[in-house]
Structure 1
Amino acid sequence: MRSRTAVVAGLVLVLLSAGCANGKPTSSSSSPLPYPPIPLVSATPSVAPTTPPPAKPARKPAARARIGPLNTQRMTGVRAVALTFDDGPHPRWTPKLLDQLRQAKVKATFCVLGVRVKSYPALVRRIVREGHTLCNHSWRHDLDLGSRSTGQIRADLRRTNQEIQRAVPGVRIPYYRQPGGRWTPAIVQVSRELGMKPLHWDVDPADWDDTSTPEISKRVAQQARPGSIVLLHDGGGDRSRTLGACPTVISSLKRKYGITRLR
């Protein structure tokens, strides 16, 4: 009896093993397993974390522009004052201004833009022919030029000088004036390297700011002193008010201090 029982038990074990091997449950129950399935382990070998690249050093900020002298010329060095005119040449205002200066027998400095020189080279030739001084005022009045790279500054100033000398071959360009007076050490250095003195001013009547003719004359009279450099404009907008003030300004300055030409 015992041996028969052992045989039956062995057959049962064989049948159970066969059912499991075929992937079929031996029970008719469809209830889930009483334990969670074991997650598969990926055969891909783990990769050691890479060391992040060193952080780039913070970029040195560009020098901030400063409105003011910053080692620039703002006085004539003598008692007489100097007149300077920016943002030209202009086909309407510059000829009229030149007529006034010729009549008053006064010489001035014209701070010209390269893009305007390219458009009106004949006016630049007249400025030089009538004995006035030229000043580089950048290619197109870039207020932020002083904060750009040294290479960009040099390219701008050279391009403007080349255009001026294309209009008047061999002419001297002894000065550079930064638009808005926004000087930086870089633009002062580059202008000097190119043989130009950085030219600022001492008197600014704000004729560029829709100032009336009487107010322009009044401000120049109030601000001027021996050796002043006066900032005015013959380009960049409607300069009828400036042209209207010039006869009074010129006669007053000539009488009090004399007017000299910057060289």
Structure 2
Amino acid sequence: MVFSLPIVPATSKHRPYIVAALAALILPVQISATAAAAANHSVACKGTIYLTFDTGSQSQAELIATTLRRHQIKATFFLANEKTVRDDYSLDPSWAPYWKTLANEGHAFGSHTFDHVYVIGDLPDGRIEVRPQFGADAGKKLAWTPQQYCSELRRVNQRFLQLTGKQLDPYWRAPGGKLTPNLLKAGEACGYRHVAWAPAGFSGDELSSEKFSNAVLLKRALDHLRDGDIFMAHLGIWSRKQAWAPENLEPLIAGLEQKSFCFATLREHPSYLSATPVK
């Protein structure tokens, strides 16, 4: 489009009129371009994938944060106080800058139990048999009441508040994804909604790299992820020899974007819109 303006002397007397004329012509074009871009984005987004990351060895924590930042993607993180490759723990004060930056960028956060507590099973008296992976009772079988399990979930919120000045979102994820009826009720009574993942959303980053190569895991995800699916990976896994994130995260995101998928936190997921903030 070509605009023609009357030729007038560029004197101080005429300059305001020239500026006004230019603004009158250019501003509508700018608004139309912005509206068109927004419309194109809306049309281009044919589905939403919800990326979630659990704590772990934290060996890939910085890479994952940088990759999400580069793609301007918001994800949901589930936090436990796990041993890291820096010889500290993921909810130590040394990790405050990392969590604070992610929180300020608009990511969402849930509880993964403070000591990464695995459930063993429900007991006849209503208690829950568990085994913490970390902390003072690491490796021990314990019988917890629902209230004790609630306290364990809330420990993460208390520490996160200390580290970032912000509360967790009202979500939690059981270590290993294993649930029992009593465990699910304990979380709900405590104000936390449990979040699993879609079958296609299992990254496989915990599996043996000899049996499940990164190429196989990537293809499976790209072939089978669908609109609304929750995807799960870790910020680092001790046992896998061929780390998943450095080789797979970038092509996973790029491949999903090529399929016109968008990304969002669980705050936008239809199943969790009614969840109320943790108090």
Normalization by structure 2: what TM-score? Answer: 0.60
2:52 — aligned with what? 84
The 5-angstrom pairing of residues 102-141 of structure 1 reads: 102-115=69-82, 116-118=90-92, 120-141=95-116
Structure 2 distance, partners of 1:146, 1:170, is 33
Aligned-pair distance for 1:255? 2.8
CA contact (8 A) 2:110 2:168 kept: no
Structure 1 distance, partners of 2:159, 2:69, is 25
Aligned-pair distance for 1:89? 7.5
Runs of 4 or more off by more than 4 Å in structure 1?
none
Structure 1 distance, partners of 2:105, 2:178, is 30
Deviates more, 1:143-152 or 1:171-180: 143-152
Pick one of 240, 243, 246 that aligns with 2:246.
Answer: 243
Pick one of 146, 159, 163 that aligns with 1:163.
Answer: 159
The 5-angstrom pairing of residues 2-13 of structure 1 reads: none
Please list every run of 5 or more consecutive structure 1 residues that lacks an aligned counterpart in the other structure. 1-77
Aligned-pair distance for 1:215? 2.1
CA contact (8 A) 2:75 2:107 kept: yes
1:197 — aligned with what? 193
- CA deviation string 1:100-143 (max 9, x = no partner): 11111111111111352135222211221222111111112222
Pair 1:156–1:117, CA change in 2 (3 A): same
Aligned-pair distance for 1:191? 2.1
Pair 1:145–1:105, CA change in 2 (3 A): farther
CA contact (8 A) 2:64 2:245 kept: no
For the residue of structure 2 that corresponds to 1:151, the secondary structure is: helix
1:209 — aligned with what? 207
Give yes or no for the alignment of 1:97 onto 2:97. no
1:36 — aligned with what? none
- CA deviation string 1:182-212 (max 9, x = no partner): 1122222222233321101002131111333
Percentage of identical aligned residues: 25
Alignment RMSD: 2.2
Structure number with greater Rg is 1
Structure 1 distance, partners of 2:258, 2:75, is 16
Structure 1 distance, partners of 2:253, 2:265, is 13
Structure 2 distance, partners of 1:85, 1:170, is 19
Aligned-pair distance for 1:160? 1.7
Normalization by structure 1: what TM-score? Answer: 0.64
Pair 1:227–1:146, CA change in 2 (3 A): farther
Greater strand proportion: 2
Q: Which amino acid aligns with 1:259?
A: F
Please list every run of 5 or more consecutive structure 2 residues that lacks an aligned counterpart in the other structure. 1-45, 83-89, 123-127, 129-144, 268-279
- CA deviation string 1:18-48 (max 9, x = no partner): xxxxxxxxxxxxxxxxxxxxxxxxxxxxxxx
Q: Which amino acid aligns with 1:110?
A: F
1:184 — aligned with what? 180
Aligned-pair distance for 1:88? 4.2
Structure 2 distance, partners of 1:195, 1:145, is 22
